Structure 1
Amino acid sequence: MMDWSPFAAVLFDLDGVITPTADVHRRAWTDMFNGFLAGLDGQQPFTDDDYVKFVDGKPRADGVRSFLSSRSIDLPDGDADDPAAAHTVAGLGTRKNDRFNEILQRDGVDAYPGSIALLDALKPAGLRLAIVSSSRNARAVLSAAGLLDRFEVIVDGNVGAEAHLDGKPAPDYFLHAAAALNAAPEQAVVLEDAISGVQAGAAGTFGLVIGVDRGAGHNALVNAGAHQVVSDLDELLPAGDADPTQMQGTP
């Protein structure tokens, strides 16, 4: 249970925090990279450990560059509108995005029940809510889950590119969202499941950084800077007999 009264804003990562789309991203990255690596000599397949270390939580192009660097593979950046067939960082990013959207359209997405429960509890409390995601697909995911109208501000990969924000683990995305909600960092709570996202929250000196352990590991999230770690957002609900109006933070 949590006391929300010291805070004015809550900044949620999307994939792995609100929706289980981190798994969809992982599958899309794995399919894309393994297809690419199959055409190179001496390369081992892309692994779940590669995903956590080099890709998870980062903007798409940064994730491609980070993984390729780990394998000593050098590709030109290319242009943002490169087609999936292009042998560039942007082209690989396009391949990954195409695969992600194929899976999303085929399978759909449902939000975690615990995340819905927390959103329902925060709604009457006057806390201002934002999504902060490196993904350029955040709005599509929220629409698919029926949650687009739950968040006052959405800072995603498209906003990050337009505003020239450095991606996670830099704190820029979260700071941008807090400013859009007129909340100082110390008044805001960050909820993240990715190591890079927790590092971003810690770097921004936010009032509270909560790691959501969907597989990264409790110790890894703490070491990245999480003040506390939960396995599901329902652990952050106010006490059952609490008056929701007493949860309200400073606007």
Structure 2
Amino acid sequence: MSPIKACIFDLDGVIVDTSIYHYLSWRRLANELGFDITREDNEQLKGISRMECLRIILSIGGVSTSADQLYELAEKKNLWYLEHVQTMTPNEVLPGVVEFMDYVKQAGIRIAIASASKNAGKILEKVGLMDRYEVLVDGNVVSKAKPNPEIFLRSARELGVAPVNCIVFEDAISGIQAAHNAGMRSVGVGDEKILKNAHLVVPTLGAMSMDELLALQNFA
């Protein structure tokens, strides 16, 4: 048995859902470049870095650019995305998140947020969750995209907790794999068919109980 000493939460799709804002911004960029993307295309972009997302978008449209243009396009998309982020409120925190994080904190379990987004801090501030976690590790301080475990290993290191004592909450296949690559246990938040490799899958954090969390101590 490995006691749970820390919970590491992905941000988008677990705590808030900004996927519509990403989709609208990427679609606006695609349209400007002369093609369109679908919601299904947007699903490919979960849990990966902005530049990786851009490369996928350009591949869908068959568009080639220089390295300088890549950064210009990524920055343009991010500015459009930030326009949406500025409108966010605490009402956009997903159901049950605050209550579950409070239960975790009261149980003496430490909390980190691990997000590939470079805008994670802004989002957490807009939705009023700045006091709910101890450590934030985001795309500003890590460079390797999931399923590389860098973001989770750094979160554990900054918390001072061994990976074996950490539980990761993720909504993306790449994130679940990154957790396992880090030697951590995982909870998939979303569709059980998609996240079947997680140690436990729940539809939302609001459906997660402390009993279920503690039961994960029995997983090797």
Q: Do the two structures share a fold, i.e. TM-score over 0.5? A: yes
Distance in 1 between the 2:88 and 2:125 partners?
A: 14
Unpaired runs of 5+ in structure 2? none
Contact conserved, 2:88 with 2:123, CA < 8 A, in 1?
no
Picking from 98, 117, 124, the partner of 2:99 is 117
1:25 maps to 22
1:9 maps to 6
Question: What's the TM-score once normalised by structure 1's chain length?
Answer: 0.77
Q: Pairwise mapping of residues 32-111 of structure 1 onto structure 2 (< 5 A)?
A: 32-36=29-33, 38=34, 43=35, 45-53=36-44, 55-78=45-68, 88-108=69-89, 110-111=92-93
Question: Which amino acid is 1:175 matched to?
Answer: L
Contact conserved, 2:30 with 2:61, CA < 8 A, in 1?
no
Question: Which amino acid is 2:37 matched to?
Answer: F
Secondary structure at 1:46's aligned position in 2?
coil
| Structure possessing the higher radius of gyration over alpha carbons | 1
Shift of 1:21: 1.9
Question: Which amino acid is 1:101 matched to?
Answer: L
Q: 1:107 to 1:142 in 2, by over 3 A?
A: closer
Shift of 1:72: 4.2
Q: Does 1:230 align with 2:198?
A: no
Q: 1:7 to 1:107 in 2, by over 3 A?
A: closer
Shift of 1:184: 1.6
Question: Which amino acid is 2:180 matched to?
Answer: A
Contact conserved, 1:32 with 1:99, CA < 8 A, in 2?
no
Question: Which amino acid is 1:135 matched to?
Answer: S
Picking from 129, 132, 137, the partner of 1:155 is 137
Q: How many equivalent residue pairs?
A: 212
1:195 maps to 173
**Deviation string, structure 1 residues 104-152 (Cα, Å, up to 9, x no partner):** 2235452113111101111211111111001111010000011112111
Distance in 2 between the 1:98 and 1:72 partners?
A: 23
Distance in 2 between the 1:19 and 1:173 partners?
A: 19
Secondary structure at 1:219's aligned position in 2?
coil
Q: 1:6 to 1:22 in 2, by over 3 A?
A: farther
Picking from 112, 126, 137, the partner of 1:130 is 112
Shift of 1:13: 0.5
Secondary structure at 1:158's aligned position in 2?
coil
RMSD (Å), alpha carbons: 2.1
Question: Which amino acid is 1:22 matched to?
Answer: S
2:192 maps to 218
Question: Which amino acid is 2:159 matched to?
Answer: L
**Deviation string, structure 1 residues 171-214 (Cα, Å, up to 9, x no partner):** 111111111111221110111112222221122221x211111x
Distance in 1 between the 2:172 and 2:152 partners?
A: 14
Unpaired runs of 5+ in structure 1? 79-87, 240-245
Provide the identity percentage.
Answer: 36
Distance in 2 between the 1:124 and 1:175 partners?
A: 24
Distance in 2 between the 1:75 and 1:204 partners?
A: 35
Distance in 2 between the 1:210 and 1:30 partners?
A: 30
Q: 1:107 to 1:123 in 2, by over 3 A?
A: closer
